Amino acid sequence: FFAVLPKIIVSYAVGLGIEFVVAQWKKEEIQEGFLVSGIIIPLYAKNVDNPH
């Protein structure tokens, strides 16, 4: 868990930052779908780094 936690934090920080900037630029609301994607991305990245 503690090995994946930094990846989750970075994923949410960067992803939500991009979501916020794009939403402000397009004058739309932030998409809540990223809350799911934000957890899937680091879990997938863990498997790419070490497939075993």
What does the pLDDT look like over 3-52, one tens digit per residue? 778 888 888 888 889 888 998 999 988 878 877 877 777 777 655 555 55
Indicate if the alpha-carbon torsion angle 29, 22, 47, 5 is positive or negative: negative
pTM of the predicted protein model: 0.64
- For the chain, give every domain's residue range: 5-49
Nearest one of 50, 52, 45, 33 to 8, comparing CA atoms: 45
